[in-house]
Amino acid sequence: METKKNPNLEIGRNSSIYFAIGLNIMLFFTWRGLEYKSYEKDNLAMEILDMGDEIEEDIPITNLEAPPPPPPPPAAAAPDVITIVEDAEEIEETVIESSETDQDDEIDPIEVSDVAVEEVEEEVSVPFSVVENVPIFPGCKGKNNTELRNCFAVKMNEHIKKHFKYPESALEMGVHGKVFVLFAVDADGHVSNIKTRGPDKKLEEEAFRIISLLPTMEPGKQRGRPVKVPYSIPIHFKIQN
């Protein structure tokens, strides 16, 4: 049997060269694969320049044959004869003198008798409980201050009962309570400085109306001199079933 292999051929003669070439090719592709970089497409900025159509502005046509503006009116002619009128009265010029003074100017002394002193009477207020003579309600009589004070309280209650009228709006809403009233009998005997404080505005207005109807009284006195005397009283608003 004849041998088919050529004895002149060596299969492994260049195997080391081929192995080195293949190894270099693999290392090159491996290095390129490690150095490769990729980017996300969403972060890419796309800039588009949009050029619109050019707008041609129409230039208005001016009428060059327009008529010229009218000439200005002529100035008023001066009168032929000028009459000179002389002033009938002479005007006296007012001389304004300086009000500033220096050390050389003499100052006229002012005597005390030339100064008018006006006495201002101070309004004295004395409480009702300590005033020497209480205000006297019309119709009150008494021998001493205690009797007049008690009569004053009785007359006040009679006055309130006589002029008392429950406000309809407060009555419908069921508003009730106590209204404290503070007023004063001045040095002339008139009622003044009325102040009210209560649970409802309507009740306060009614209490103010009742006290404002008080008559003129004989003023209270302190050391024989009329004085202002404050007085306070509660007014009860009750709804009876």
Mean pLDDT value across residues 18-24: 88
Residue type, 156: M
Interatomic CA distance for residues 64 and 72, integer angstroms: 22
Interatomic CA distance for residues 221 and 189, integer angstroms: 11
Question: What share of the chain has pLDDT > 70, as a percent?
Answer: 62
Confidence (pLDDT) at 36 = 76
Mean pLDDT value across residues 80-100: 64
* Three-class DSSP category at 57: coil
Mean pLDDT value across residues 7-17: 70
Give the residue with greater pLDDT, 95 vs 69. 69
Mean pLDDT value across residues 197-204: 92
Confidence (pLDDT) at 20 = 87
Mean pLDDT value across residues 88-96: 65
Interatomic CA distance for residues 11 and 132, integer angstroms: 153
30 pLDDT more than 80:
yes
Question: What share of the chain has pLDDT > 90, as a percent?
Answer: 37
Instruction: Output the six-digit token pair for 146.
Output: 């205690």
231 pLDDT more than 90:
yes
Question: 172, 163, 225: which is closest to 202 by C-alpha?
Answer: 172
Confidence (pLDDT) at 110 = 58
pLDDT band at residue 32 using 50, 70 and 90 as cut-offs: confident
Q: How many CB atoms lie within 10 A of CB 60?
A: 6
Domains recognised in the chain with CATH numbers: 145-237 (3.30.2420)
- Residue 33: phi and psi, rounded to 5, are -65, -35
Question: 237, 236, 183, 186: which is closest to 213 by C-alpha?
Answer: 183
Mean pLDDT of the chain: 79
Question: 130, 157, 95, 160: which is closest to 222 by C-alpha?
Answer: 130
Q: What is the CA radius of gyration of the chain?
A: 59
Interatomic CA distance for residues 53 and 55, integer angstroms: 6
Q: How many CB atoms lie within 10 A of CB 198?
A: 20
Q: How many CB atoms lie within 10 A of CB 56?
A: 6
Per residue in 67-86, pLDDT tens?
Answer: 777 888 776 665 566 666 66
Confidence (pLDDT) at 182 = 94
Give the residue with greater pLDDT, 16 vs 214. 214
Residue with tokens 């492994």: 12
Question: What count of Cα atoms within 13 Å lies in the side-chain half-sphere of residue 185?
Answer: 25
pLDDT band at residue 49 using 50, 70 and 90 as cut-offs: very low
Give the residue with greater pLDDT, 182 vs 80. 182
Per residue in 105-158, pLDDT tens?
Answer: 666 665 655 556 666 566 788 898 889 999 999 999 888 888 999 999 999 999
